[in-house]
Amino acid sequence: MSRIVYVNGEFVNEAEARISIFDRGFLFADGVYEVSSILGGALIDNDAHLQRLERSLGELSMPCPASLKDIAEIQRELVTRNQVKEGALYLQVTRGVAERDFAYPSNTEPSLVMFTQARPLIDNPAAKQGISIITVPDQRWKRRDIKTIGLLPASMAKEMALARGADDAWLHEEGYITEGSSNNAYIVTEGGEVITRHLSNGILAGITRGAILRLSRDTGMKVVERPFSLEEAHQAKEAFVTSATTFVYPVIRIDGKTIGEGKPGPVTVRLRELYVEMALQQAAAQQR
Ligand code: PDD
């Protein structure tokens, strides 16, 4: 079944979507993106995603192609047109079309494209069984707080993981984990503390991360935002990742070492339940 996608003001069949080869997203990866999850046909935590989009654009002095309210309207329309009940919506803004030049062009119209991907988020084997990861050096640039479309280092890390029989990669720098190839990384210690790296230019401020930290604190869990080392990761009682497309996935193996009992641990399972509950409530509220 072919999708309806959104390209610069038009809803078109995916086969008819066109972007210029001079688009700076294509030539310079000069663009930013957001991925929002869809549950029950509703976008989850989308306001937070759009706020982060605005921030990413600001950091790159890139104009926003429409008001956030109008962008949200287009997103909802696209979900409706494709009748997606569960999955994700990808949104990308690039600086637009200009003669190739390293300097930012003036007065170009930014491009805005969006597409949906239908896929199971709740009833997902990785969520039930957990995933295995390897750790690899973080080869990305130093502004990982900006959600840019320059994703080749992340793609290479994922590819290395698959080549070594794992599902994904965690990235490390100076002996400490930064984050996952496309998710935030957490460990749970013997004492039950949930640890994840503090926010900085070194990681993306995950929207799911924000929600998970709120939920863990609300339920009385001890949360510490600090870097954790490779050794701590290998010795963790539990480990997990969060993102808009995974919610919470347990990590049951790191670099071939079994984490905890080699199955999703109680803290991870509880946090996933809490997140899904919150997301379903958000979806239901939007239906009303
Ligand atoms: N990735 N860190 C990185 C490097 C990411 O690419 C992502 C999300 C996250 C989690 O952010 P959030 O909770 O807002 O989804 C952290 C998306 C899902 C992607 O690239 O497909």
Mean pLDDT of the region 210-214: 98
Reported in sequence order, the residue ranges of 72-155 that DSSP labels E, i.e. its strands, are 87-94, 111-118, 131-137
Same domain, 134 and 61: no
Tell whether ligand 1 has an atom less than 6 A from the beta carbon of residue 243.
yes
Q: Which DSSP helix (H) or strand (E) runs through 180?
A: strand 176-180
| Mean pLDDT of the 5-25 span | 98
Distances from the Cα of 91 to the Cα of 14, 183, 211, angstroms = 14, 17, 21
Answer yes or no: 158 catalytic.
Answer: no
Q: Which residues contact 218 (CB under 8 A, 6 or more apart)?
A: none
| Residues of the domain holding 133 | 125-283
Which of 118, 135, 157 represents a domain boundary (last residue)? 118
Does 220 share its domain with 252?
A: yes
Q: Give the pLDDT band of residue 287 (cuts 50, 70, 90).
A: confident
Give 107-155 pLDDT, tens digit per residue: 999 999 999 999 999 999 999 999 999 999 999 999 999 999 999 999 9
pLDDT band at 267, cuts 50/70/90?
very high
**188 pairs with which residues across the strands?**
194, 238
238: helix, coil or strand? strand
Q: Which residue has the tokens 């698959």?
A: 162
- Listed residues 52, 84, 118: the one ending a domain: 118
Mean pLDDT of 242-253: 98
147, 158, 222, 263: the catalytic one is 147
Of the chain, the end-to-end C-alpha distance in Å amounts to: 29
Residue 288 lies in a domain: no
Give the pLDDT mean for 204-215: 98
Tell me: do 158 and 226 sit in the same domain. yes
User: Can you tell me which atom of ligand 1 is nearest the CA of 52?
Assistant: 14
Percent of the chain with pLDDT over 70: 100
Last residue of a domain, one of 118, 144, 168: 118
CB-CB neighbours of 175 under 10 Å: 9
Distances 151 to 29, 109, 218 between C-alpha atoms, Å: 9, 23, 34
Distance between CA atoms of 9 and 222, rounded to whole angstroms? Answer: 46
Mean pLDDT, all residues of the chain: 98
Asked whether the predicted pLDDT for residue 1 surpasses 70, the reply is no
How many separate domains does the chain show?
2
pLDDT digits (tens, 9 = 90+) for 58-91: 999 999 999 999 999 999 999 999 999 999 999 9
CA of 99 relative to ligand 1 center, distance in Å: 31
Determine whether the shortest distance from the Cβ of 209 to ligand 1 is under 6 A: yes
